[in-house]
A and B are shown apart, each in its own frame.
Chain A
Amino acid sequence: MESKSVLVNGDEAVAMAALDTGVRLGCGYPGTPSTEILETFSALGGRAQWAPNEKVALEVALGAAFGCGRALATMKHVGLNVAADPLFTAAYTGCSGALVIAVADDPGMASSQNEQDSRRYAAAAGVPMLEPADSQQAYDFMAEAVALSEKFGTPVLLRLTTRVCHSKTPVLRRAFPPPPPAAFAPDIPTRVMIPAYARPAHRRLRQRLAEILAWNEQSALTIRYGESGELGLIANGISVMHAREAAPQAAVLQVGMTYPLPVETLRAFAASVRRCVVVEEGDPVIADACRAAGIAVESAPEMFRYGELNVGKVRRILAGDTTPEPARPPGKPPQLCLGCPHRLVFEALRDENCLVTGDIGCYTLGVLAPFEAMHTCVCMGAAFGVGLGLRHVLPPAEARRVVSVIGDSTFMHSGLTGLLDMAYNPPESGHVVVVLDNGTTAMTGLQEHPGTGRLLDGTPARQILPEDLARAMGIERVTVLDMDTKGSGFRAALRADLDSGQLCMIVARRPCILSLRKQRKTEEAKKEGAGQ
Chain B
Amino acid sequence: MKRETPVNVVVAGLGGQGVLTCSDLLADAAFRTGLDVKKAEIHGMSQRGGSVSCDVRFGAAVLSPMVPDGEADFLVVLEATQEAPNRHVLKPDGLLLSVTQLDTAALPSPKTLNTAMLGMLSRHVPEIPEASWQSALDAAFPEKIRAMNHAAFETGKNSVKIH
Contact = CB atoms under 8 A, between A and B. Distances in A.
Interface in B40-75: 40-51, 62-66, 68-70
B134 to A, nearest CB: 17
B14 interface: yes
Given A134-B38, A170-B36, A334-B48, A241 B65 contact: yes
Nearest to B63: A245
A289 interface: no
A445 interface: yes
27 contacts: A32-B44, A110-B42, A134-B65, A167-B40, A168-B24, A170-B36, A238-B65, A241-B63, A241-B64, A242-B63, A244-B63, A245-B64, A310-B64, A310-B66, A311-B64, A311-B68, A312-B70, A328-B88, A329-B84, A329-B85, A329-B88, A330-B85, A331-B50, A332-B82, A333-B50, A335-B49, A362-B48
Contact of A7 (B31, B43, B64, B85): B31
Contacts of A332: 14, 49-51, 81-82, 85
A458 B41 CA distance: 26
Contact of A328 (B15, B36, B42, B85): B85
A232 interface: no
Contacts of A163: 40, 65-66
Given A7-B28, A329-B85, A337-B49, A166 B64 contact: no
B150 interface: no
Interface of B: 14-15, 24, 27-28, 31, 36-51, 62-66, 68-70, 81-82, 84-85, 87-88
A348 to B, nearest CB: 21
A33 B44 contact: yes
A279 to B, nearest CB: 12
Nearest to A326: B88
Contacts of A333: 50-51
Contacts of B84: 329
Interface in A158-175: 162-163, 166-170
Given A241-B65, A245-B64, A443 B45 contact: yes
Contact of B37 (A7, A33, A331, A336): A7
A247 B38 CA distance: 19
A170 B31 CA distance: 8
B42 A162 contact: yes
| Interface secondary structure of B, over-half rule | mixed
A163 B88 CA distance: 20
A73 interface: no
Most buried by A among B41, B84, B85: B41
B10 to A, nearest CB: 13
Most buried by A among B27, B31, B65: B65
Contacts, number: 112
Most buried by B among A7, A32, A134: A7
Interface string A347-388: 000000000000000100100000000000000000000000
Contacts of A167: 38-41, 65
Interface in A82-138: 110-112, 134
A170 B49 contact: no
Contact of A111 (B45, B51, B70, B87): B45
Nearest to A524: B142
A334 B50 contact: yes
Interface in A439-462: 443-445
Contacts of A335: 48-50
A169 B37 contact: yes
A337 B41 CA distance: 21
Interface in A174-208: none
B48 A337 contact: yes
| Shortest beta-carbon contacts, A-B, top 4 | A111-B44, A331-B51, A334-B50, A334-B48
B41 A166 contact: yes
B103 to A, nearest CB: 25
Contacts of B87: 329
A443 B44 contact: yes
Contacts of B42: 110-111, 162, 166
A134 B36 CA distance: 13
A170 B43 CA distance: 20
Nearest to B5: A245
A515 to B, nearest CB: 13
B31 to A, nearest CB: 5
Nearest to B87: A329
